[in-house]
Chain A
Amino acid sequence: MNYETVIGLEIHAELATKTKIYCGCKNEFGGEPNTHTCPVCTGMPGSLPVLNKKVVDYAICAGLAMNCEITRYGKQDRKNYFYPDLPKAYQISQFDLPVCHDGYVDIEVDGKTKRIGITRIHIEEDAGKLIHDDYSGTSLVDYNRCGVPLIEIVTEPDIRSSEEAKIFLDTLKSILEYTEVSDCKMQEGSLRCDVNVSIRPEGETEFGTRCEMKNVNSFSAAVRSMDYEVKRQIEIVEAGGEIVQETRRWDDTKGVSVLMRTKEDAHDYRYFPEPDLLPIIISDEWIEAVRSRLPELPAERRARYINEYGLTEYDASVITTSKKTSDYFEECVKSGCDPKSASNWLMGDITRYLNEKELEPSDIPFTAKQLASLLSLIQKGTISNSAAKKVLVKMFEEPDDPEKLVEKLGLVQVSDEGALKQMVDDVLAANPQSIVDYKAGRDRAIGFLVGQIMKASKGKANPQMINKLLKEALDNM
């Protein structure tokens, strides 16, 4: 039997506010343990939370970017549970009146647009971090992350495969990046997700029983966990078993999920309205002020690249996925670059280099202007394409103006007709068989001769001119 996968996601994104959600402590990753803390974020007796308005602002911004309704009267609630990283023994979150609800995000799947519903976006505080010291056998708590503002984005169960989920997550990440709501630094845990998976026989309209997967720390881990879970569920059903609603923990190193708790052991969080905080009243003016500050979003930018710059849909999508890349691309174009060659270089050699070194687009060490100069050197024929690739690597290693690097590496292209003619004559004299082959109609021979010249010139000969001169010489023979 064929099964349909049904996936819903809960994404936690750390907001890029300067200070924490309920106190004035810095919202900054890292720092010595327990240095970005105060009586409020460490939940000292008698301390009280005061809502950082920016957090609501950012949540509204995310909501508008995801086509949500914005709540006019919201409130905050306490989610009660005991854990050492939660110093108040409750998390301030939102239960039934989240800041945003009923929105959607459109994603591109196989060239078609698919709409994923956003159930809600609510604000909440992050917890601290437990550090287990195997040496002393104790656990320590770092409260620096306590009170870091989060939004939790909950989707409708509209996703039908792990591939769709990956596309959705990438799209969501770029929206959060474009709006600057979150810096989306995966390795710092700025973006985390819980995955809900169920399966049902194809054609069935009722949903199957779902399982939730926690501890999914990257998008690729999310995909792996979904694939694993779908397989696990199909195996159970095929064996005549029944799926039990449960929460599972994803172990990415082992590639398996393990049972955390069943529905019977589910926590009763005893949510109730947070009495220390006032209701969140959001006015039309507030919403409009945020709306007017909304930047161009990835989908809009993609359309513009296709229409204005003539990029292909695929190229436009790849370039706009990361705001950093896209901003970089625009700067290149502004510096006079041909949009197509800029996008080719960004998507080709630059991305390849970044991936190899596990770097982010923001790690590109040279300016867009410098990249533009490099491309113009190719265009002017000063250097060859292959020489430019060498210069690019050098630009990553010792960022400098490409003109200087070209000189340093001795890569200036020889375009002097006299010198090139001499090279052509030399190579023809040395390879009479190739002349015979060419005359016999074997075009391959010309490629071989060009290669010989390039080799002899250490790649500096202008390939277009060599081609032309060779042909002329051969045809005149």
Chain B
Amino acid sequence: MKFYELTAHEVRDLIKNKEASSVEVTKSVLERIDAVEDKIESYVTVLKDEAIAQAEKVDKKIASGEETGALAGVPMALKDNMCTKNILTTCSSKMLYNFKPPYNATVAEKLQKSDAVLVGKANMDEFAMGSSTENSYFKKTKNPYDLTKVPGGSSGGSAACVAADEAIFSLGSDTGGSIRQPAAFCGCVGLKPTYGAVSRFGLIAFASSLDQIGPMTKDVEDCALILNEIVGHDKNDSTSVKREYPDFTKALTGDVSDIKIGVPDEYFGEGINCEVKDAVLGAVKNLENSGAKADSCALPLNEYALPAYYMISSAEASSNLARFDGVKYGFRAEKFENLIDLYAQTRSEGFGDEVKRRIMIGTYALSSGYYDAYYKKAQQVRTLVMQDFEKAFEKYDCLITPTAPMTAFGIGEKTSDPLQMYLADICTVSVNIAGLPAIVIPCGYDKCGMPIGVQIIGKPFGEADILRTAHLLEKTITKIRPNL
């Protein structure tokens, strides 16, 4: 048996039933990394010794009959913007090339308590800004389905490592589609939870009001399983919401007869690739065949979500990234004349082009005299987009759309045109703007064999509904593994 090919729930069961040890599974995943990482380059850091040590600890726990967590012994990856104590956390930036946080992110802490095994820190677009993982300072991650293509971004490493079986599951972060778009491009499952469902404490912020951490997995059941472990209020994150969260694995009933699906016309218009459109509409058909009701509907204000998103996220980023100044940690320029020059040189040399571009856009949008026209206006649009969704959710339980207008594009294909790159987020950003949950699962493959992802958007804290819908849909799709 190739342990690395298994899902988290399969690994969990094997280990629980003592049919395999965590060390065996972990070694299998590490061997897989040895075999394919040169081609895929999904990791910034691989934690071989640490992973085996942790696996041994879990095995010992099991042997001694101690109670273990729900993910006991399951090897995983974390996106490299989630703080891991004394373990390199770079955000794929030169700015943090040497940064070892003094503390764990809440999600890292929780997964440690669940007895999962951290095998590595996944590559990403620098500070999560990008849609192709080409903005990493360290390496360009490849799409496991076609090494000449991008894995999507910004959680490209988290998606590629799961698709290439270099981790059983991973966590990504999603500010404008950064979990969902790479999940679609790499043919895996990705969930962006409702804003506030998962603690952001220890997630190095890109845009605080939009960022959300979520699972990237091999199937929907894993997605529910991982969500169970990371969801919940955190006293360290004021924006995390205090409420009862259900056991999401129990939501996967296989019955969608009560589900009413809205299919917003705006997501199927100009610019959407025909194969993508057909596959997504096919998925809707499959759900209808299983008893769900589907209707076309309208989200007329959605077209304003993209510009509003770029204003808000850049404005917040310009402030969030100001702390990287060469004073306390991370990169510092070697030559500087005085304090101001220390800042200027450090930030000029330490940040990549895309990060600088967003900092400049954001700084401009917040400047006195421009605030009302840009930032404030964008916030008003945000309110309208939310209302647009609220209206739709009066009639529907979930909305189904494409995840991206196209399948994975070629490496280097869009790097010269930032606006083309920004359009890759057109189907995903409004979900962040409105703080909604959305799940992406593969729903077909294009003629080149590249995965197509369908996005199921839910009501606030409606994760159980979209997981249930995705779980049933998953059964109607034949999954193709990448050929590595």
Contacts and interface: CB of A to CB of B under 8 A. Distances in A.
Contacts of A47: 103, 201-202
B307 interface: no
A48 B327 contact: no
A349 B325 CA distance: 56
B137 to A, nearest CB: 15
A48 B200 CA distance: 8
Contacts of B200: 48
A89 B322 contact: yes
B375 A141 contact: no
A270 B103 contact: no
Nearest to A90: B319
B203 interface: yes
A440 to B, nearest CB: 85
B371 interface: yes
Contacts of B205: 45-46, 276
B415 interface: no
A49 to B, nearest CB: 7
A19 to B, nearest CB: 14
**Interface size, A (range):** 20 to 34
Contacts of A74: none
Interface stretch (A79-87, A103-111, A301-309): A79-87
B197 to A, nearest CB: 15
Contacts of B99: 45
A179 interface: no
Contacts of A45: 83, 89, 91, 96, 99, 101, 204-205, 323-324
Q: Chain A: interface secondary structure?
A: loop
Contacts, number: 99
Contact of B325 (A44, A51, A89, A272): A89
A277 B239 CA distance: 6
Interface in B235-287: 235-239
Given A44-B101, A46-B202, A80-B319, A275 B325 contact: no
Contacts of B327: 84, 87, 141
B343 A82 contact: yes
A82 B363 CA distance: 13
A87 B328 contact: yes
Contact of A48 (B101, B236, B315, B371): B236
Contact of B238 (A39, A272, A276): A276
A464 to B, nearest CB: 71
A43 interface: yes
A43 B204 CA distance: 11
Interface residues of B, number: 44
B322 A44 contact: no
Contacts of A141: 327-328
B16 to A, nearest CB: 33
A42 B101 CA distance: 12
B265 to A, nearest CB: 32
A47 B83 CA distance: 9
B238 A42 contact: no
A162 to B, nearest CB: 33
A48 B368 contact: no
Given A50-B236, A88-B323, A89-B323, A39 B103 contact: yes
B11 to A, nearest CB: 28
Nearest to B103: A39
Interface in A29-48: 39, 42-48
**A39, A43, A49 pick with most chain B CB within 10 angstroms:** A39
B438 to A, nearest CB: 20
Contacts of B328: 42, 87, 141
Interface in B190-208: 200-205, 207-208
Contacts of B103: 39, 44, 47
Contact of A46 (B204, B209, B239): B204
A78 interface: yes
Q: Chain B: interface secondary structure?
A: loop
A270 B343 CA distance: 18
A330 B225 CA distance: 66
A278 B322 contact: no
A268 B239 contact: no
Contact of B322 (A49, A82, A272): A82
B166 interface: no
Interface in A16-74: 39, 42-51
A46 B105 CA distance: 8
**A45, A78, A84, A88 pick with most chain B CB within 10 angstroms:** A45
A90 B101 CA distance: 20
Nearest to B344: A82
Interface string A159-194: 000000000000000000000000000000000000
Contacts of A51: 238
B366 interface: yes
Contacts of B323: 43, 45, 87-89
**A42, A44, A46, A82 pick with most chain B CB within 10 angstroms:** A46
B201 A46 contact: yes
Contacts of A80: 318-319, 322, 366
Contacts of A46: 81-83, 89, 101, 105, 201-205
B387 interface: no
Nearest to B316: A275
A49 B238 contact: yes
Nearest to B201: A48
A270 B325 contact: no
A278 B319 contact: no
A278 B83 contact: no
Contacts of A49: 238
Nearest to A49: B238
B339 interface: yes
Interface string A270-311: 111001111000000000000000000000000000000000
Contact of B209 (A39, A268, A270, A275): A275
Contacts of A268: 367-368
A272 B83 contact: no
A272 B319 contact: yes
Nearest to A80: B319
B65 interface: no
Contacts of A87: 323, 327-328
Contact of A272 (B89, B96, B371): B371
19 contacts: A44-B101, A44-B103, A45-B323, A46-B81, A46-B82, A46-B205, A47-B201, A48-B201, A78-B319, A80-B366, A87-B328, A88-B322, A268-B367, A270-B363, A270-B367, A271-B366, A272-B371, A275-B239, A276-B208
Given A80-B318, A270-B366, 17 more contacts: A42-B328, A45-B91, A45-B205, A46-B83, A46-B101, A47-B201, A48-B236, A82-B325, A87-B327, A89-B319, A89-B325, A90-B319, A90-B322, A270-B367, A275-B207, A275-B208, A276-B208
Interface of B: 81-83, 89, 91, 96, 99, 101-103, 105, 200-205, 207-209, 235-239, 315-316, 318-319, 322-325, 327-329, 339, 343, 363, 366-368, 371, 375
